[in-house]
Structure 1
């Protein structure tokens, strides 16, 4: 089994850095690497007293250059920042005090599998923020949280049902050209290479 590659940033605190490093170094499944050697499949652990502007700036830079999965260890995280944190690659938030070595190793494993580690409170706040985003920003533009509008979703559902372009046009009272344009937009939005792949992506994501 390949070892999980992990880097640590400990807010210029050598004692904390030493403790977290010692905890992870003793685990045979984990390989510690410098942050500048991380790749998108790796995990970055950021340990800070408080998640402030400097931390967010660092996370934004790391997400832009490395696209790594980030675990935050902190006792002071503003839940209202959860959407921004996720945008910057954060997949888990754990308490700095109270997290055991076993819990930390488990969190690294979960993060490496691209799964989230969020408290119930943070999950609730995330749902509230997504709902506010949908209500205040997306709905006025005719969009859902997927970035697809109602017409695009209708066409995508009919594609999933196996209908051809002319059949979709008849059912929705569109021209063939309109349907083809909608399909092209959907393919672009979900980063697919063709309509079949677009349907598969949408089905896996639970969009349709």
Structure 2
């Protein structure tokens, strides 16, 4: 049998941590190996427990989730850790910064438990998790902070079709939705996404979204 995905839960609210832990531990393919209430502890525990995924809150004492994510993504641990940010949209205006810091995706705290489990499994495989609706609202809301000052798109090393796919990724569309929009096969879209990430030197779809907004490719 495949070893279960090892999860570290980091949230300063006891009830939230307990709820996440109960949901995750009920799954045969997932295992909570530790809990903590601040970002500094998440980095310390990650070095000691070597989790596959950290479920991370943003607003916490001692060290916030953004800086903790930056360290967990490769600066402060002996090995990179996947981070899934789980936050309250109306309160946490810094989630965009967490994505830039290296988070593999984010969900809302009031999302169904099935979405949390799917998110953990998704980022554990090395893929990125971007809830389309949340992406459109959140990234769109704060994109002005990272767009070029004059609003002029910069030249990027992509073919026209690749650029089109990148813009759809930035709009929060899944591969299936992109395929339907451009009348392409799912495999063709996957090839385009892989090519885009390689050409731009990006890790995953999250970084692709950040890149698109930073370079003024979407409005």
Band the TM-score falls in, shorter-chain normalisation: 0.5 to 0.7
Q: Which has the higher helix share?
A: 1
| Superposed counterparts of 1:159-198, under 5 Å | none
Could you tell me how far 1:135 is from its partner in structure 2?
Answer: 3.9
Q: Where does residue 111 of structure 2 map in the other structure?
A: 99
Instruction: Give the Cα–Cα distance (whole angstroms) in 2 for the partners of residues 43 and 57 of structure 1.
Output: 16
Alignment check: 8 A CA contact 1:3 1:31 kept = yes
| Superposed counterparts of 1:9-48, under 5 Å | 9-11=10-12, 13-34=13-34, 35-36=46-47, 37-38=49-50, 42-47=52-57
Could you tell me how far 1:24 is from its partner in structure 2?
Answer: 0.8
Greater radius of gyration (CA): 1
Q: CA RMSD for the aligned pairs?
A: 3.8
Gaps of at least 5 residues in structure 2 are 35-45, 160-190, 201-219
Instruction: Give the Cα–Cα distance (whole angstroms) in 1 for the partners of residues 82 and 150 of structure 2.
Output: 27
| Superposed counterparts of 1:90-169, under 5 Å | 90-96=103-109, 98-113=110-125, 114-123=127-136, 126=139, 133=146, 135-136=148-149, 144=156
TM-score by length of 2: 0.52
Could you tell me how far 1:30 is from its partner in structure 2?
Answer: 0.6
Could you tell me how far 1:4 is from its partner in structure 2?
Answer: 1.4
TM-score by length of 1: 0.54
Q: Where does residue 186 of structure 1 map in the other structure?
A: none
Structure-2 change in CA distance of 1:79 and 1:137 (3 Å): farther
Instruction: Give the Cα–Cα distance (whole angstroms) in 1 for the partners of residues 60 and 155 of structure 2.
Output: 32
Gaps of at least 5 residues in structure 1 are 155-199
Alignment check: 8 A CA contact 2:85 2:103 kept = yes
Instruction: Give the Cα–Cα distance (whole angstroms) in 2 for the partners of residues 15 and 128 of structure 1.
Output: 30
Alignment check: 8 A CA contact 1:71 1:90 kept = yes
Structure-2 change in CA distance of 1:143 and 1:84 (3 Å): farther
Could you tell me how far 1:59 is from its partner in structure 2?
Answer: 1.9
Q: Where does residue 6 of structure 1 map in the other structure?
A: 7
Could you tell me how far 1:105 is from its partner in structure 2?
Answer: 0.9
Instruction: Give the Cα–Cα distance (whole angstroms) in 2 for the partners of residues 4 and 205 of structure 1.
Output: 29
Work out which structure has the larger RCO, using CA pairs closer than 8 Å and 6 or more positions apart in sequence.
2
- Aligned residue pairs total 150
